[in-house]
Structure 1
Amino acid sequence: MPASASSGHTDGRAARWAGQRERRRREFVEAALRAIRERGPDVSTERIAEEAGVARTQLYKHFTDATDIHRTIARRAVELINAELAPLWQLHGSPAQMISTAVDTHIRWLAENRHLYRYLSRHSLSAPDTGDAAVNDVRTTIGEHLTVVFEHYLAAFGLDTRVAEPAAFSVVGLVDASTAQWLRHPGGLEHAEFAAMLSRWVWRILDDALREGGVEVDPDLPLALPELTFPSSRTETG
């Protein structure tokens, strides 16, 4: 057989193996996500392998080590979180309506995926570039998107847009930290009561920024729907 034909055959086989390996990695990650949701944030690689229907040693034929497994799970989790929260950037109505919808969506997502979120944070101890990095990536993406929204409205009111970023990230920190603590210890607060309280706090942050510039906005009156361009998430660009 000519050398070129042999080389082409080898390259084709290598490409097929690479494709099969990537497909199996995706299957294992989806199995890991199911295991985390069902069994909690302390799920082991043994449990992940069990969910995938393979021996634990099979995982390591497709991943370098446990850190590689956690890193790949984290990346997929960030993709899912960003996709789930994407509708928040198409909100319309009054400030009160938009804030209420955004806060409630965030609370519901964390409530339904608390094991996954805790898993990401927990594994930062053994793999600093997976856990906290993944959680922070989600917060950063939300903060960056909110910054674009705030900049638009501040500019529309003729106000200083430099406050948009700190205001956006203060809102993200408030909602994320408060919700995480509420899920751990509700303290007798029902979902609707907690969401309404958190929405009021968020509005007060924004209202303060507006009043500082001499602008008063009725939170119950609709705002014009802007056409905005948001930054790509890190999982898309990286």
Structure 2
Amino acid sequence: MAEEGTPRSWDRRARAREEFIDAAYRVIDAHGPRPSMNDIAQEAGATKPRLYRHFEDKADLYKAIADRTTNDVYKLVAPRFNFLLTTPHEALHHAITGYAEVVAEHPNVFRFLADGELKQDGGGSALSLDVERDLTNRLAGVASTIFDSVSADVSDVRFTARAAVGIMVSTTDLWLESSKGAAKPDPEYFVDQVAPLVWGVLDAFLRRNGIELDPTEPLYLALARIKSP
């Protein structure tokens, strides 16, 4: 048996946490966005006291579910995709599709994130805002890296990144509502509705900073012009 505090015990605890998160997903998928801790523990084949040995409280588990959602989106969007070799429209379509596919796979999890709260120290914050912040930080980081690579002097990208992510998150419930009765929400429909709105925000930001991008031209060509004196 691994001693507490050893790498082996940490791995065991990490696996146990993941199993509880998996169980939470299954409960939410099957029964809706208001899961009970008892149901989650039972689905994982454990007791509620054991669940609480791996999560400080309900908020800790809920935060882990939000983190899983964000990571799932990022894993679909980022790996093996070179944004510089694609057009802005293609890159935008790819990114929004990744988000939509995660939501379409687990629509009740999104409803859970939209309805749930992280309550700490007497206050509360919507879990969906937690997801928005994480996605915003990642998007802003990618954008900053791209602009820094061509020494482009642009204003703070975080506001624009938050607006772009906010459009996606805030319109998701409309998409899910319009998909009632369907076997699964259609990601392409969501992308068709949302991509022009997000591009409008991004294009306005770029133009305000003196940058004009042809949305049908590979991004590396536009960046080369920006870098040229």
TM-score with structure 1 length normalisation? 0.69
Please give the per-residue CA displacement for 1:173-199, whole angstroms capped at 9, x wherever unaligned.
Answer: 111111232212459x96434412311
Name the residue aligned to 2:214: 218
Matched, 1:88 2:88: no
| Residue ranges of structure 1 left out of the alignment (5+ in a row) | 1-11, 227-238
After superposition, residues 72-221 of structure 1 pair within 5 angstroms as 72-89=61-78, 90-92=81-83, 93-124=86-117, 127-128=119-120, 132=125, 134-154=127-147, 159-185=152-178, 191-221=187-217
| Structure with larger Rg | 1
Name the residue aligned to 2:44: 52
Query: Counterparts of 1:28 and 1:146 in 2: how far apart (Å)?
Result: 29
CA distance change for structure 1 residues 146 and 28 in 2, over 3 Å: closer, same or farther?
closer
CA distance change for structure 1 residues 121 and 65 in 2, over 3 Å: closer, same or farther?
farther
- Secondary structure of 1:184 counterpart: helix
- Determine which of 50, 57, 61 is the counterpart of 1:68: 57
CA distance change for structure 1 residues 206 and 76 in 2, over 3 Å: closer, same or farther?
closer
Name the residue aligned to 1:32: 24
TM-score with structure 2 length normalisation? 0.72
Q: What's the CA shift for 1:84?
A: 3.5
Q: What's the CA shift for 1:119?
A: 2.1
Query: Counterparts of 2:18 and 2:88 in 1: how far apart (Å)?
Result: 40
Query: Counterparts of 2:4 and 2:44 in 1: how far apart (Å)?
Result: 24
Percent identity reads: 26
Q: What's the CA shift for 1:30?
A: 2.7
Count of aligned pairs between the two proteins: 210
Name the residue aligned to 1:6: none
Q: What's the CA shift for 1:168?
A: 0.9
**Structure 1 residue identity aligned to 2:22:** E
- Secondary structure of 1:49 counterpart: helix
| Residue ranges of structure 2 left out of the alignment (5+ in a row) | 224-229
CA distance change for structure 1 residues 170 and 91 in 2, over 3 Å: closer, same or farther?
farther
Asked whether the 8 Å contact 1:167–1:205 carries over to 2, the reply is: yes
Please give the per-residue CA displacement for 1:10-33, whole angstroms capped at 9, x wherever unaligned.
Answer: xx76669x9498365553343222
**Structure 2 residue identity aligned to 1:47:** D
**Structure 2 residue identity aligned to 1:39:** H
Asked whether the 8 Å contact 1:163–1:209 carries over to 2, the reply is: no
Query: Counterparts of 2:195 and 2:3 in 1: how far apart (Å)?
Result: 56
Name the residue aligned to 2:227: none
**Structure 1 residue identity aligned to 2:111:** R
CA distance change for structure 1 residues 155 and 26 in 2, over 3 Å: closer, same or farther?
closer
